[in-house]
Chain A
Amino acid sequence: MDNLELFFSVALLGFSLILFVISAVTYKRIGSRRLLLVSAAFGMFLVKGLLLILGLFIASIGKIFNASVLMIMVDFAILAFLYLSVVKK
């Protein structure tokens, strides 16, 4: 296992968890649908971070996640949520 890969996977998980919590609390307090979309985007980052970490330790998950289509789908979902939060009136 590459140490650099582990470091960045943990950092991604940590930051996405912090940002997800902050965005979810902000949404809960303010109740704007725009913030719900932003929270969903950070939630997807969190899922991605979790899968990356699990993939480093469990070979079968790593194999599935390394399949480029799944990676692209998660990234697409993140960008789609962020895009919707920007264009939402």
Chain B
Amino acid sequence: MEEDVLELENRRRIYQLLLKYPGMYLREMEKELGLAVGVLEYNLSYLEKKEILMVEREGNRKRYFIREGFSWGDKITVGLLRQEIPRRIVIFLMLNENASFQDVLAQFKISKSTLSFHMKKLTEANIVGSEKDGRTTNYRVLDPDNTARVILTYKASFLDVVVDRFAEVWGDMGK
């Protein structure tokens, strides 16, 4: 599980770097990010396959760019995943498909009502789907590819950080 989170974080770093410096070479990225070539190549090829990046060949060397017209998801999904708690819940559900409410609750230091509130929002936005299994409700991410894309390309702005802190200060956001 830890490996998956690490990969997502690596991809996020690669994406942010290419956004800042389009057309970088593999070796330049290796130096800048401090990642092993193998890890970098694996993640670059993943991002290329998912059509997030494009490659231009220059002899034996490759230059990497963010694909033009790449959209990172609809407004509601992006809006929700900009918030720290929903984003962390979704990452957890991507790594633990069909986790129950109690499983999610055990992972986060939040109250039941706060979690219910976020789960309701995520379900209403069709990011997360739920299924009853006896007395427990299990959750899963409905479109993992698109959701991963949004998380991958997300970069916290100053306002996002401040808003998260404000929500934290004003405590339980349930209801």
Binding site for B on A (CB under 8 A): 22-23, 25-26, 29-35, 38, 85, 88-89
Contacts and interface: CB of A to CB of B under 8 A. Distances in A.
Interface stretch (B20-28, B93-101, B104-112, B160-168): B160-168
A81 B175 CA distance: 17
A26 B170 CA distance: 10
Interface of B: 79-80, 82-83, 117, 121, 159, 162-163, 166-167, 170, 173-175
A89 B175 CA distance: 7
A85 B173 CA distance: 10
Nearest to B163: A26
Contacts of A26: 163, 166-167, 170
A33 B117 CA distance: 12
6 contacts: A22-B159, A22-B162, A22-B163, A29-B83, A32-B117, A32-B174
A25 B166 CA distance: 10
